[in-house]
């Protein structure tokens, strides 16, 4: 029996994870399931899968969750601290499928206890990639990518030497507005941006696909997870979404990963890793598909991609600034306060304000001065220099 926990169990990725787990209930011991406001779904799944604990992120809903779980033997708790506590409960495999930076803290706790972390929550890598990867290393825990592109790259790299990798290409469907006239984009509605041509996903990531802010996050995710330099990572528009990523090697070979657009493939690969198990996903019939199309992304249509390159160039905390600004801009778009194309303007503006060109240098030199002043007085410094001489 493998002990598994699912963070963000009530969402799109979470539900697909539970679908796979439910198909072989005898193989899994469900530890923690977490959700947000959908208490009915969280409680029903926790009962059905006989979870040890169910946690809602919303502290005000603890009473509702308790009531919904009465008599089931499933523990109930609520709030951000409860989420972290649930992540410390021993598990072999933890799905990180909370949306946004809120996924970072429970993910770190899961790694600290040595669980394999199946990472759908790309925002963890964007906001704090080095911290997440170092925590995994320190605790001998594995991070398994669940984003479809990153699972594809991971699979294409099995048995390969990273030194032989020349480039990594992540594909993008182009989202809902791929073929819209550029001048119409400013008026795009929330409903129009929420309809993805190929993938059935949560609303936020679907809108982020139309703007390619999702692909921007994935560029940074690729850089942080695989440690490849930004100039080696490319985005390729591929409307059919059958190829998820390609890895180019120094001998000219391109290894592509193909499959139906169904997240249960990437989730299942991480769940069964390093084995390949049979999965209930549609088999791709290439003769029926007939044709695969490719194009370069138009920078004018997708300004988010250049912003991602800026984040990778700057490093440091710029990913956290970028992700938070993107989230706030997305909230404002969904609330009808700004237009579709203004999201990128808002993010660029916030980055320029919080991360001026010399901002990191100034901050670094300030800290350098403060640390020196605090630690070593001038005379001590001189004495230590003369001792060394
Ligand atoms: P979703 O909105 O469908 O579900 C999000 C889950 O997180 C829900 O369980 C929700 O209750 C919970 N949640 C939301 N805010 C929270 C908070 N502040 N604290 C704790 N829990 C909170 O989202 P999704 O589409 O399943 O995406 C989840 C993650 O997976 C995201 O990082 C997304 O980028 C990534 N991802 C999703 C897909 C997809 O096909 N849906 C594909 C690749 C990557
Ligand atoms: Mg993806």
SS3 labels along 322-355: HHHHHHHHHHHHHCCCCCCCHHHHHHHHHHHHHC
Least confident of 57-61, 196-200, 338-342, 380-384: 380-384
Question: What ligand is nearest to the CA atom of residue 146?
Answer: 1
204 preceded by a cis bond (ω within 30 of 0): no
Q: Give buried/exposed letters for 361-375 (b at 16+ CB in 10 A, else e).
A: eeeeeeeeeeeeeee
Question: What ligand is nearest to the CA atom of residue 122?
Answer: 1
Q: Which of 211, 121, 203 is nearest to 173 (CA)?
A: 211
For a ligand 1 pocket test, name from 14, 61, 99 the mutation site with the most ligand atoms within 8 angstroms of its C-beta.
99
The predicted model gives 342-356 an average pLDDT of 93
CA–centroid distance, residue 98 to ligand 2 (Å): 15
- Residue 347 near residue 307 (C-beta atoms within 8 A): yes
Is 265 exposed, middle or buried, given 0-12, 13-18 or 19+ CB atoms closer than 10 A?
buried
The predicted model gives 49-67 an average pLDDT of 98
Q: Which residues line ligand 1 (CB under 6 A)?
A: 8-14, 35-36, 57, 83, 97-100, 102, 120-123, 147, 199, 201-202, 204-205, 263
Least confident of 49-58, 162-171, 371-380: 371-380
The strand pair at 243-249 and 233-237 is best described as unpaired
Cα 181 to Cα 169: distance, rounded to the nearest angstrom: 26
pLDDT digits (tens, 9 = 90+) for 268-296: 999 999 999 999 999 999 999 999 999 99
Question: What ligand is nearest to the CA atom of residue 216?
Answer: 2
pTM assigned to the model: 0.92
Return the SS3 of 11: coil
Q: Which of 155, 124, 138 is nearest to 217 (CA)?
A: 124
For CA atoms 174, 222, 125, 95, give the dihedral sign.
positive
Cα 344 to Cα 340: distance, rounded to the nearest angstrom: 8
CA-closest residue to ligand 1 atom 31: 99
Q: Is the pLDDT of residue 376 over 80?
A: no
Q: Which of 183, 207, 205, 201 is nearest to 333 (CA)?
A: 207
CA-closest residue to ligand 1 atom 36: 120
Cα 320 to Cα 317: distance, rounded to the nearest angstrom: 5
- Residue 357: how many other CB atoms lie within 10 Å: 9
CA-closest residue to ligand 1 atom 39: 201
Return the SS3 of 253: coil
Cα 277 to Cα 113: distance, rounded to the nearest angstrom: 26
Give the residue with greater pLDDT, 244 vs 359.
244
- Residue 96 near residue 103 (C-beta atoms within 8 A): yes
Residue 122: HSE in the Cβ half-sphere, 13 Å Cα cutoff: 23
How many residues can be counted in the chain? 389
CA-closest residue to ligand 1 atom 11: 36
Q: Give buried/exposed letters for 231-261 (b at 16+ CB in 10 A, else e).
A: eebbbebbbbbbbbbbbbbeeeeebbbebeb
Q: What is the rounded (10 degree) CA torsion for 353, 354, 360, 366?
A: 100
pLDDT digits (tens, 9 = 90+) for 210-233: 999 999 999 999 999 999 999 999
pLDDT digits (tens, 9 = 90+) for 67-117: 999 999 999 999 999 999 999 999 999 999 999 999 999 999 999 999 999
CA–centroid distance, residue 32 to ligand 2 (Å): 25
Shortest-distance atom of ligand 1 to CA 201: 41
Shortest-distance atom of ligand 1 to CA 217: 34
Question: What ligand is nearest to the CA atom of residue 207?
Answer: 1
Question: What ligand is nearest to the CA atom of residue 208?
Answer: 1
CA distances from 203 to 23, 125, 196, 210 (A): 26, 21, 9, 11
CA–centroid distance, residue 32 to ligand 1 (Å): 16
For CA atoms 106, 112, 116, 117, give the dihedral sign.
positive
- % of the chain surpassing 90 pLDDT: 88
For a ligand 1 pocket test, name from 5, 6, 7, 8 the mutation site with the most ligand atoms within 8 angstroms of its C-beta.
8
Q: Is the pLDDT of residue 381 over 70?
A: no
The predicted model gives 147-160 an average pLDDT of 98
CA–centroid distance, residue 347 to ligand 2 (Å): 21
- DSSP secondary structure of 170-191: EEE---TTTTS-GGGGGG--HH
For a ligand 1 pocket test, name from 123, 202, 241 the mutation site with the most ligand atoms within 8 angstroms of its C-beta.
202
CA–centroid distance, residue 121 to ligand 2 (Å): 10
pLDDT digits (tens, 9 = 90+) for 3-44: 999 999 999 999 999 999 999 999 999 999 999 999 999 999
Query: Which helix (H) or strand (E) segment is 229 a member of?
Result: none
Domains, the chain: 2-146 (3.40.50.720), 150-349 (no CATH), 356-388 (no CATH)
């Amino acid at each position: 029996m493998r002990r598994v926990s699912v963070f963000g169990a009530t969402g799109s990725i979470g539900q697909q994870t539970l679908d796979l787990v439910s198909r072989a209930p005898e193989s899994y011991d469900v530890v923690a399931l977490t959700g947000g406001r959908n208490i009915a779904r969280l409680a029903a799944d926790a009962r059905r899968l006989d979870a040890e604990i169910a946690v809602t992120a919303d502290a005000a809903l603890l009473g509702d969750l308790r009531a919904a779980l009465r008599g089931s033997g499933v523990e109930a708790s609520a709030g951000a601290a409860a989420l972290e506590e649930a992540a410390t409960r021993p598990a072999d495999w933890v799905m990180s499928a909370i949306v946004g930076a809120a996924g970072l803290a429970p993910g770190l706790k899961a790694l600290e206890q040595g669980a394999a972390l199946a990472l759908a929550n790309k925002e963890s890598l964007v906001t704090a990639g080095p911290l997440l990867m170092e925590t995994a290393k320190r605790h001998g825990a594995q991070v398994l990518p669940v984003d479809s592109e990153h699972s594809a790259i991971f699979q294409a790299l099995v048995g390969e030497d990273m030194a032989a990798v020349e480039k990594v290409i992540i594909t993008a469907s182009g989202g809902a507005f791929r073929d819209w006239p550029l001048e119409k984009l400013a008026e795009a509605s929330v409903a129009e941006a929420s309809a993805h041509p190929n993938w059935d996903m949560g609303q936020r990531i679907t809108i982020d696909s139309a703007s390619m802010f999702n692909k921007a996050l994935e560029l940074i995710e690729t850089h942080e997870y695989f440690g490849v330099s930004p100039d080696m990572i490319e985005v390729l528009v591929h409307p059919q979404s059958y190829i998820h990523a390609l890895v180019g090697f120094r001998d000219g070979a391109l290894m592509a990963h193909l499959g139906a657009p169904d997240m249960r493939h990437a989730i299942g690969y991480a769940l069964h890793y390093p084995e390949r198990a049979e999965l209930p996903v549609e088999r791709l019939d290439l003769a029926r598909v007939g044709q695969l199309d490719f194009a370069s992304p138009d920078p004018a249509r997708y300004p988010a991609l250049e912003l991602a390159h800026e984040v990778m160039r700057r490093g440091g905390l710029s990913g956290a600034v970028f992700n938070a600004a993107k989230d706030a801009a997305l909230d404002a778009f969904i609330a009808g306060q700004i237009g579709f194309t203004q999201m990128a303007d808002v993010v660029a503006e916030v980055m320029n304000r919080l991360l001026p060109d010399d901002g990191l240098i100034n901050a670094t030199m300030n800290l350098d001065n403060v640390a020196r002043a605090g630690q070593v007085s001038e005379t001590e410094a001189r004495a230590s220099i003369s001792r060394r001489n």
